[in-house]
């Protein structure tokens, strides 16, 4: 198939040359013939036999004009290729924001330029991901790394009591888990921020996915003796299963995290007109009015003096995925009475 496309390009150029030559031969032949019969050409200047048969003159003239015209056409046709060469040189110098204009009447060239721009976009996304990761590592990783270093230093004391030793080991394990979760979330969020189109969509049971996540978090909510009220309609949804699992996981995990012992969490899934609606409502401490408009910002954690802390990336990840699905997320919260998160996603199964 690719061989055929390359051949078509050469055929296109061959047709251009043939057509231009044919047109110029006809035009020049007609002009010379007309001028001769109107006696506007002096026979003393040009051999009479040559004039009576104007085709040699027409051929020579057509070659000259055809060459000029073809050079102009070739310059227009090959202009995108020249621009790609210049763009590649700029990329080699570190400029990843450059793009080549995709306008071309030739399908193969237009596709070539489009693929080149797509390649530049992917390279730019990877570079952005790398820079974002490095910037955030230096800022957010400092605390758990310092904790690991500090507790590991304390463990070098051979006279350390056994209970303290176990406690320090537990702190090191928790800090290492925090580092792992943080790095994973940074990578996921950076990747999604540089992705415009949702890929790998398929039909799947959305209610079953949410049930699996609830079971995954069973140890957390059962430990706090939380009363879970679950009402999930059977819904076949068309979307990226892996991305959406992060939405339900973060929202339900947050509800469990901020709900006190013996509290209550309601999880609902239903159809509203043509939209799929997910709700999670808890009886936790709620969100302050001054913080509610910032909870989706990266690394925002509200009141850090509280026991329940995270890395401030979960809700930013949720918002990005919902936006990519052209959906919406709403928050209702009253300090001291709990919070309610509502996710509305458009579209039906396919």
Q: How is the chain split into domains, by residue range?
A: 2-123, 141-193, 202-345
Report how far apart, in Å, the C-alpha atoms of 113 and of each of 4, 19, 83, 102 are. 18, 26, 9, 6
State the pLDDT at residue 294.
Answer: 76
Q: How many residues does the chain have?
A: 350
pLDDT band at 251 (very low <50, low <70, confident <90, very high): very high
Confidence at residue 341, expressed as pLDDT on a 0 to 100 scale = 93
> How confident is the model at residue 307, as a pLDDT?
45
Architecture of the domain spanning 202-345: 2-Layer Sandwich (3.30)
> Is pLDDT of 44 > 70?
no
Element housing 341 (H / E):
strand 338-345
Alpha-carbon gap, residue 346 to 278, rounded angstroms: 12
Q: Is 265 helix (H, G, I), strand (E, B) or coil?
A: strand
In the three-class reduction of DSSP (H, G, I as helix; E, B as strand; rest coil), residue 210 is classed as: helix
Q: What is the DSSP string of 281-296?
A: EE-S----TTTTTTTT
Residues in contact with 348: Cβ distance below 8 Å, sequence separation at least 6, in sequence order = 238, 274
Q: Do residues 239 and 276 make contact, with C-beta atoms less than 8 angstroms apart?
A: no
* Distance separating alpha carbons of residues 160 and 153, to the nearest angstrom: 11
Average pLDDT, integer, range 222-238: 90
Flag whether pLDDT at 74 surpasses 90.
no
Cα–Cα distance, 268 to 235 (Å, whole number): 12
Give percent above pLDDT 70 in the chain: 67
> Can you tell me whether residue 332 is helix, strand or coil?
strand
Q: Is the pLDDT of residue 286 over 80?
A: yes
- At 53, give phi and psi (nearest 5°): -120, 85
Looking at per-residue confidence, does 66 or 253 come out higher?
253
Judge: domain 141-193, CATH 1.10.287.
yes
pLDDT number for residue 306: 45
For residue 74, CA distances in Å to 26, 55, 77 come to: 22, 27, 5
Calculate mean pLDDT across residues 146-171: 86
Q: Is the pLDDT of residue 185 over 50?
A: yes
Whether residue 162 has pLDDT greater than 90: no
Q: Evaluate if residue 283 carries a pLDDT over 70.
A: yes
Higher pLDDT, 189 or 221: 221
Mean pLDDT, rounded, for 179-202: 72
Task: Identify the residue whose tokens are 């924001």.
Answer: 97
Per-residue confidence (pLDDT) for residue 106, from 0 to 100: 66
Under the banding of pLDDT at 50, 70 and 90, the label for residue 310 is: low
Whether residue 83 is predicted with pLDDT greater than 70 in this model: the reply is yes
Supply the pLDDT for residue 279.
93
Mean pLDDT of the chain: 76
The answer to whether 320 and 189 have CB atoms below 8 angstroms apart is yes
Return the pLDDT at 207.
92
**Which pLDDT band, with edges at 50, 70 and 90, does 113 fall under?**
confident
């Amino acid at each position: 198939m690719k061989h055929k496309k390359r051949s078509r390009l050469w055929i296109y150029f061959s047709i251009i040359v043939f057509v231009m030559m044919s047109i110029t031969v006809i035009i020049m032949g007609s002009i010379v013939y007309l001028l001769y019969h109107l006696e506007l050409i002096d026979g003393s200047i040009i051999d009479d036999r040559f004039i009576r048969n104007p085709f040699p003159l027409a051929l020579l003239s057509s070659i000259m004009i055809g060459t000029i015209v073809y050079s102009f056409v070739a310059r227009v046709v090959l202009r995108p290729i020249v621009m790609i060469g210049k763009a590649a040189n700029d990329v080699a110098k570190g400029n990843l924001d450059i793009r080549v204009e995709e306008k071309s009447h030739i399908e193969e060239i237009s596709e070539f330029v489009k693929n080149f721009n797509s390649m530049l976009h992917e390279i730019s996304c990877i570079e952005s991901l790398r820079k974002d990761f490095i910037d955030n590592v230096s800022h957010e990783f400092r605390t758990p790394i310092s904790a690991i270093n500090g507790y590991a230093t304390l463990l070098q004391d051979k006279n350390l009591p056994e209970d303290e030793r176990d406690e320090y080991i537990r702190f090191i394990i928790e800090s290492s888990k925090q580092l792992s979760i943080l790095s994973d979330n940074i990578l996921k969020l950076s990747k999604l921020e540089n992705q415009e189109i949702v890929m790998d969509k398929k039909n799947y049971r959305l209610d079953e996915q949410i049930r699996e996540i609830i079971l995954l978090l069973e140890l957390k909510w059962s430990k706090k003796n939380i009363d879970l009220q679950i009402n999930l309609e059977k819904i076949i949804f068309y979307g990226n299963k892996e991305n959406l699992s992060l939405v339900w996981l973060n929202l339900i995990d947050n509800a469990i995290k901020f709900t006190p012992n013996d509290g209550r969490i309601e999880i609902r899934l239903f159809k509203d007109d043509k939209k799929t609606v997910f709700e999670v409502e808890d009886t936790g401490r709620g969100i302050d009015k001054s913080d509610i408009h910032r909870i989706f910002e990266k690394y925002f954690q509200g009141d850090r003096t509280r026991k329940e802390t995270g890395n401030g990336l979960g809700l930013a990840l949720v918002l990005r995925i919902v936006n990519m699905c052209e959906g919406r997320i709403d928050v209702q919260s009253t300090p001291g009475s709990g919070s309610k998160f509502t996710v509305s996603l458009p579209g039906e199964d396919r």
